[in-house]
Chain A
Amino acid sequence: MTNPIATRDASLADVLERVLDKGVVIAGDIRINLLDIELLTVRIRLLIASVDKAREMGIDWWEHDPSLSSGDRDMLQENRELRERLAELESSRDREDAGQDKDRERSR
């Protein structure tokens, strides 16, 4: 039996997306000091290296990550715009279809 759903082994892109997603800070060193415990000493150079690698694989979430900005609002806005656009396109297609039907009737 073939399963219609595509199940992949965790690809590197998927692993990086999750493992790096929590750690990516683009500006400056990641050096978080919490109660004298130094955590996260990954440096900007590591990030640059990983960013390039990640881009090669099409991961560029930090460039437009909704969770990093007012992106949720943007997404809602985009969804609304898309819905409006869909309605517009559909109604114009209906009009055209109707127009074509008339053309056909006329040519008969």
Chain B
Amino acid sequence: MSVAERTYLYALVRPGTIRVEVAGILSRPTRVVAIDGIGAVVGTVPADLFVADSMESRMGDSGWVASLARAHDDVVAAVTQLATTIPLRLGTTSDDDESVCALLTDLAGAATRTFDRFEGRTEYGVQVFAPGHRQAPSEGAPEGGAAFLRRRRAELKEDELRRVAAVEQAETAYQLLADVAVDDRRISVRSRTSGTAGPMVLNGAFLVDNDAVTSFRAVADQLAASLGPDRVVITGPWAPYSFAELDL
């Protein structure tokens, strides 16, 4: 490998004997570097892929980061089908394959514990949204200033009640889902909406036994049915990104 290239790491896998055929970043091929039963899914990338000078020319292209992230996740998602997978951060690179082997040797203990935790399990995301805004009141007789203020105050209080109630509902939902999952995490709530629903009030990640996926989805379905349209969104299956605490 020339010095102009580096080894990009997508994920750690067990067993390290899998064959990967998915293309990665820059549509480049991927391969597995394995040692003692665990492997790193890697690809060769230009050394300047993330270097400032070349990034400057790419900064205007908001799709650049998006395409990197997609390519990274495509590889991680593909290997998740073949082996127990520890997804790595976007942008993890190493000097060369030899360094990757050294890394795998150093990490063997921690990686094995994490593989044990992930084996036969999959991550799902569940987002809960507040109810959407009520219908605007129908045009009635013109109201006086005092009546308007009274109505407005009542509406604001209703909004607040609705938000507080939605947070409570989301907490209950989270607990019900967590009961079916083997592990759970709160991801920060984002300022996104879903269909006719209001703002997101809960963003949860759940590590689910593959045997329990049906029951997990059933719980999510029940929540969706009881909370109303667009208020519950499930994402996944994901590689266990939110539970990968193996810190490199």
Point out residues on A near B: beta carbons under 8 Å.
Answer: 3-8, 10-23, 30, 32, 34-43, 45-46, 48-50, 52-53, 56-61, 64-67, 75, 79, 82-83, 85-86, 89-90, 93
Would B160 and A64 count as touching, CB distance under 8 A? no
A-B contact pairs, 28 of them (CB 8 A): A4-B221, A5-B234, A6-B194, A6-B195, A7-B235, A18-B87, A18-B241, A19-B89, A21-B241, A23-B90, A35-B102, A35-B106, A38-B93, A40-B92, A41-B93, A43-B52, A45-B52, A48-B59, A53-B65, A58-B190, A61-B187, A61-B190, A66-B186, A67-B188, A79-B171, A82-B167, A86-B161, A89-B157
Please tell me which one of the listed residues A17, A21, A22, A50 contacts residue B65 in the complex, with CB atoms under 8 A apart: A50
A-contacting residues, B151-199, CB 8 Å: 157, 160-161, 164-165, 167-168, 171, 186-188, 190-192, 194-195
Would A17 and B187 count as touching, CB distance under 8 A? yes
Q: Using Cβ atoms and an 8 Å threshold, which residues of chain B touch A13? A: 190, 192
Size category, B interface: 35 or more
Q: Beyond A37-B102, A38-B95, A42-B90, list 11 extra A-B contacts (CB 8 Å).
A: A6-B195, A21-B187, A22-B244, A35-B102, A40-B89, A41-B6, A43-B51, A49-B65, A53-B62, A61-B190, A82-B164
Would A49 and B59 count as touching, CB distance under 8 A? yes
Is B43 close to A, CB under 8 A? no
Would A10 and B235 count as touching, CB distance under 8 A? yes
Would B50 and A5 count as touching, CB distance under 8 A? no
Is B220 close to A, CB under 8 A? yes
Closest chain B residue to A25 by CB distance? B89
Is B143 close to A, CB under 8 A? no
CB < 8 Å A-B pair total = 168
**Given A6-B234, A35-B106, A85-B160, A41 and B51 touching (CB < 8 A)?**
yes
CA distance A39 to B107 in the complex (A): 14
Q: Using Cβ atoms and an 8 Å threshold, which residues of chain A touch B242? A: 18, 21
Would B190 and A17 count as touching, CB distance under 8 A? yes
Please tell me which one of the listed residues B66, B91, B168 contacts residue A86 in the complex, with CB atoms under 8 A apart: B168
A-contacting residues, B75-131, CB 8 Å: 87-95, 99, 102-103, 106, 125
Is B56 close to A, CB under 8 A? yes
